[in-house]
A and B are shown apart, each in its own frame.
Chain A
C-alpha cells in the first residue's frame, strides 16, 4: 500500500523552480531515501510534505487523503513527523520536556485542566511521562532526561530529535540527514536504529541522506533529485550504476571513468 503519494508537485520561489513536477511514492513500512547534490530540492520537498510550504502545483496524499496546503500542526496530527538537517530542539527545555511537547497531539487536557490538575489531567500527564521515559530508554538517552537539551552531546541531540518526533506516534517519519556530523560508529548505530523503527514500531521512514554508505545500506528505494527534478529512481544497485546520477554528483566526464571500475568502490559526496 502506498502511504505517501506525491503527485506532480511544483514549488517555486519567485523565478526559481525548487521542485519541478516531482512524483514520489512511499510504500507503507518501507525505508526509502531521497538523495541529490546540495540545492537539489530535497529539504524543500520535506517542507512541502510537512506543510511548511504550499506547493504551487500538484497534490500530496497521505494514505489516500490530500494534505496539500494543510498547516504543519494539522499534518502532524494526521501522522507525519520529521527531524531537521540542523538540529532544532527546544534548547532551553529538558530532554523529557522535548519529548512531552512531541506528544502534544495526543494529550487532551486544556487550560482549565492544567490549572485545576484534576484526576483526568494528572493521569494523562503521568502516562505521558511514562511514555516519554520509555522513549528515552528506547533511544538510549537514559540519564539525559533532566538536562537542558542544549547541554546534550551532539549524538544524543540527534537521537533526542528522533525521540521527539516519535512521540507524536507518526505513521511516516521524515529524517533530514540523520547522520550528519556523525563518526562511522555513530552512523552505524543510527542505521540500526532506523531499521529498528521500521521493524519494531512499524513506522515508514523517508530519509534525506548524504552518506552513501547509509543510503545504499538501508534504503529499499532511492529517489534522486537534481535541480528540483527527479532524475532517477530505483533500488540502490540500480542507482549506483545510473550514469545520470553519477554525472549529477560528479559532473560530466567523470561518470565514464567511474562506471568502468568494478563495484562497489563508488562512494559519492
Chain B
C-alpha cells in the first residue's frame, strides 16, 4: 500500500513538472502574450489563458487514470499537488524573469506576460495566485473525472464549442449568414463583444451546447437498444448521406467568401490526398514527389488555355483531358524506371522528381513556355453553358464534384481485383509476385491513377487562381498531403476527408494561429503517432464471409498468434 501511494505521489509530481514545463514553453514562445487580448469571453477568458492552462488540465486529467484505485480524497490530493507544482514552476519563471533580465535570449519573457499569468496581480500576491490557479486546475480535473460520462461529455463539448466560437468571432461575423438582418444585430449586439463572446453570450452558448449534448447523449442509447434490420440501417445511412450532401451544397452561400476560400483549398488538398492515398495507402509506395503531378496538371492547364502564352487558347474543358493525360503520362514515365526500387530508395527518387519539376518551371531555359518566376496568368476558367464558373463559391462545386468522383473511383478500386493486388504488394511484394501479380504493372497503375488525381487537382487549382507560380509547388505540399493521409488513416477514404479538414481546414480558419501553424502541425503529428498511430479514421476491411449485417467477432475471440517454434 505504502509503495503504491509513493508511486502515485511520484506520478503526481511528474505530471506537475511536465505540465509546468509545457505551460512555461507555451508562455515563452509568446502565445500567452499575443493571445492575451484575444478574448474568448470578453474581459474574462482569453485565448492566452486557455493556451497555457489547457495543457495542465489535460495532463492532470490523463494522469488520474493511473491512480484510480485510490480514494477520491487521495485523488484530489494528488491532482491538486500536480497542479500546484505546475503553478510553482510558473512562479519560478515569473520570479526569475522579474529578478534578472532574460529578454535578450527569451524575447517573450516580458512583464506583460507575467502580469497575464498572474491575472494582473503584482508579485508577492501573484505568486500565490499562480500556485492556487494550478491547484484549482487539478481539482477541476478531478471534478471532470468524477462526473457521469454523459455529463462529462456534455460539459467538455460545451467548453470546446465556446472556445471555438469565441476564437472564430471575426470569421463568423464575416460569413454570409451573419449579414442577414435580425441575426446580424443579435450577433453583434448581444452575442459577440469587441473580442470574443460577451459574458452573457458565452454562458448562454455553453448552456445550450451542454443541454444539447446531454439530451442527445441520452437519446442515442435508446436508439442503439432497438434492434435494427439491415433494411432500416441502410435507409438511415442513406438519409444521413443525403443530409450531409445537402449541407455540403449549402456551405458556400451560407458561409460566404472567406470560408469558401478555405473550403476550396481544403478541397484541392483532399483531392490530391485521395490520389496519394492510392499510391501510399493502397499500394504502399512512398512517393515524396507527389507535388510534381499537381504542378504538371496546373501548368498544362495554364499553357494550353492562357492567352498570355498564346499557344493554343483552349477552353477549360478542352484543356482538362490534355492536363489529365499529361499527368498520367508523367506518372508512367517516372514510374517505369523507378518502380523497381523499394521503400526508402523510391522515396528519395520521387523526392528528386518533385524538385526537378518545380525547378524546370522556375528555370530561365523554359521561360518562354512556362513563364519562369512570373508564372502564367489569365488561365481559363470553366464555363457550363452560359454560366461562367469564376467565383470561389462556384469553383467549390467543381471541386466537390471532383472529390465525389475521385472518392467513388477510390472506393470501387479498393474492393476490386486491382485494389487487392495493390494491397498485397503493400503487405509483401515478393509473395504478391508469387501469387501471379505482376508487381511492376500493378505499381505503375497505382502511380498513374495517383498522378491522374493530382493532375485533376492541379487543373482545378489553375482554374481557381487563374494563375500558376512555381513557388506553389514546393516540397512542403507533398509533405502536407502525406501528413493528411497519415493523420487520417492510411488507406482509409473517410480518413483522408477528416485528415484534410483537420490539417488544412483548421489552420485555414484559425488565421490567428498562422504564426504558430507549423508548431501545432508538428505537435499534432507527434501526438498522433504516439497515441493513435493508425489514424483518426483507420482503414477497415470489408466483411466477405459473413456479410455486413452480421455482428462482429468480439475482441476476446481473437487468439493471439503463437510464436513459431523454430
| B and A form one assembly | yes
A101 in the interface (beta carbon within 8 A): yes
Stretch of B139-147, B413-421, B457-465 lying at the A interface? B413-421
In the assembled complex, A164 has its CB within 8 A of some CB on chain B: yes
Chain B hits for A224, CB < 8 A: none
Q: Is A219 an interface residue (CB 8 A)?
A: no
Asked if B360 is at the interface of the complex by the 8 Å CB criterion, the answer is no
CA distance A42 to B436 in the complex (A): 22
CA A86 – CA B435 in complex, angstroms? Answer: 17
Contact A104 B543 (CB under 8 A): no
Residues of B within 8 A of A142 (CB): 545
Q: Are B420 and A181 in contact (CB under 8 A)?
A: no
The residue of chain B having its C-beta at the shortest distance from the C-beta of A115 within the complex is: B412
Residue B431 is within 8 A (CB to CB) of chain A in the complex: yes
Tell me if B559 is interfacial: C-beta within 8 Å of chain A: yes
Contact A72 B430 (CB under 8 A): yes
Contacts of B431 in A (CB 8 A): 84, 88, 90
Say whether A257 faces chain B, with CB atoms less than 8 Å apart: no
The smallest beta-carbon distance between B412 and chain A, in angstroms, is 5
Per-residue A-contact encoding for B409-452, CB less than 8 Å = 1, 0 else = 10011001111110110011011111111110000010001000
Most buried by B among A96, A101, A142, A147: A101
Which of B416, B434, B561 counts the most A-chain CB atoms under 10 A from its CB?
B434
Instruction: Report the separation of the CA atoms of residues A97 and B540 in the bound assembly, to the nearest whole angstrom.
Output: 13
**Which of B419, B423, B436, B445 touches A73 (beta carbons < 8 Å)?**
B436
Contact digits for A91-111, partner B, Cβ 8 Å, 1 yes 0 no: 111111100111011010111
Distance in Å: Cβ of B554 to nearest Cβ of chain A: 12
- Check if A140 is an interface residue, CB within 8 A of chain B: no
CB of B553 closer than 8 Å to a CB of A = yes
Does B6 interact with chain A (Cβ within 8 Å)? no
Q: Which residues of B contact A255 (CB under 8 A)?
A: none
B523 in the interface (beta carbon within 8 A): no
Q: Is A180 within 8 A of B565, CB to CB?
A: yes
Determine whether A153 belongs to the interface, using a CB cutoff of 8 Å to chain B. yes
Is the beta-carbon distance between A90 and B427 smaller than 8 angstroms?
yes
Please report the C-alpha to C-alpha distance between residue A52 and residue B434 in the assembled complex, in whole angstroms: 8
* Residues in chain B near residue A153, CB distance under 8 A: 559, 561-562
Chain A residues in 8 Å Cβ range of B436:
73, 76-77, 104-105, 168
The answer to whether A181 touches B566 (Cβ under 8 A) is yes
Within 8 A of B (CB), among A105-161: 105, 107, 109-111, 113-117, 121, 125, 129, 132-133, 136, 142-148, 150-154, 157
Q: Taking the complex as formed, is B544 at the interface, i.e. its CB lies under 8 A from any CB of chain A?
A: yes
- Does A147 contact B553, Cβ atoms closer than 8 Å? yes
Residue pair A181, B545 in contact (C-beta under 8 Å): no
Q: Which residues from A are CB-within-8-Å of B416?
A: 109, 111, 113-115, 121, 125
Q: Is the CB of A90 within 8 A of B412?
A: no
Cα distance A89–B566 when bound, in Å? Answer: 18
CB of B302, distance to nearest CB on chain A (Å): 29
The docked-state distance in angstroms from the alpha carbon of A50 to that of B117 is 70
B541 within 8 A of A: yes
B546 near A101 with CB under 8 A, answer: no
Residues of B within 8 A of A115 (CB): 409, 412-413, 416
Cβ of B543 and Cβ of A101 under 8 Å apart? Answer: no
B545 and A148: CB pair below 8 A? no
- In the assembly, what is the distance between CA of A260 and CA of B412, in Å? 67
Chain B residues whose CB sits within 8 angstroms of the CB of A102 once the complex forms:
435
Interface size on A, residues (CB 8 A): 63
- Given A93-B420, A97-B541, A109-B416, A147–B558 Cβ distance below 8 Å? yes
**Known pairs A145-B546, A168-B436; A154 contacts B562 (CB<8 A):** yes
**Cα distance, A159 to B14, chains bound together (Å):** 50
B residues in contact with A94, CB < 8 Å: 541-545
- Name the residue of chain B whose CB is nearest to the CB of A94: B541
- What's the Cα separation between A101 and B416 when bound, in Å? 10
Give residues 517-566 of B contacting A (CB, 8 Å).
541-546, 553, 558-566
Is A11's CB within 8 Å of the partner chain B?
no
- Select B434's contact among A76, A111, A157, beta carbons within 8 Å: A76
Contact A111 B418 (CB under 8 A): yes
CA distance A157 to B432 in the complex (A): 17
Contacts of B423 in A (CB 8 A): 90, 92-93, 97, 101
Task: Assess A151 versus B561: contact at CB under 8 Å? Given A114-B416, A117-B412.
Answer: yes
Contact A93 to B427, CB < 8 A, known contacts A153-B562, A181-B564: yes
CB neighbours of A110 from chain B (8 A) = 417-418
**From B566, which residue of chain A is reached at the shortest CB distance?**
A180
Could you say which residues of chain A place their CB within 8 Å of the CB of B542? 94
Cβ A181 vs Cβ B565 within 8 A? yes
CB <8 Å contact, A86 and B419:
no
**In-complex Cβ contact of B437 among A101, A133, A143, A144 (8 A):** A101
B418 lies within 8 A of A145 (CB): no
- A73-B541 contact in complex given A101-B420, A157-B561, C-beta closer than 8 Å: no
Known: A101-B435, A114-B412, A181-B565. A91 touches B430 (CB 8 A): no
Give the residues in chain A near B566, CB-CB below 8 Å.
180-181, 210
Given contacts A91-B427, A93-B541, A146-B546, contact A73 B438 (CB under 8 A): yes
Query: How many Å lie between the Cα of A101 and that of B434 in the bound state?
Result: 10
- On whether the beta carbons of B564 and A154 are closer than 8 Å, the reply is yes
Contacts of B563 in A (CB 8 A): 181
* Cα A152 to Cα B544 with chains together (Å): 16
Residue with the highest number of chain B CB atoms closer than 10 Å, among A72, A81, A144, A180: A72
Residues of A within 8 A of B449 (CB): 111
CA distance A51 to B218 in the complex (A): 61
Q: Is A231 an interface residue (CB 8 A)?
A: no
* Chain B residues whose C-beta falls within 8 Å of the C-beta of A239 in the assembled complex: none
Q: Give every chain A residue within 8 A of B564 (Cβ-Cβ).
A: 86-87, 154, 180-181
Chain B proximity of A15: nearest CB distance (Å): 25
Instruction: Identify the interface centre among A71, A73, A75, A109: most chain B CB within 10 Å of its CB.
Output: A73
Interface bits A59-76 vs B (CB < 8 Å: 1, else 0): 000000000000111011
CA–CA, A13 and B542, complex, Å: 43
A82 pairs with B434, CB closer than 8 A: yes
Q: What 19 additional pairs, Cβ within 8 angstroms, besides A114-B413, A151-B560?
A: A73-B438, A73-B439, A76-B434, A88-B431, A90-B423, A90-B428, A91-B427, A92-B423, A97-B544, A100-B544, A101-B435, A104-B420, A104-B424, A115-B412, A125-B417, A132-B544, A143-B545, A180-B565, A182-B565
Pull 5 A–B residue pairs with CB atoms less than 8 Å apart, ordered by A: A90-B424, A90-B431, A146-B546, A147-B553, A154-B562
What 8 pairs between A and B have smallest CB-CB spacing?
A145-B545, A114-B416, A105-B436, A181-B565, A90-B427, A76-B436, A72-B433, A154-B562
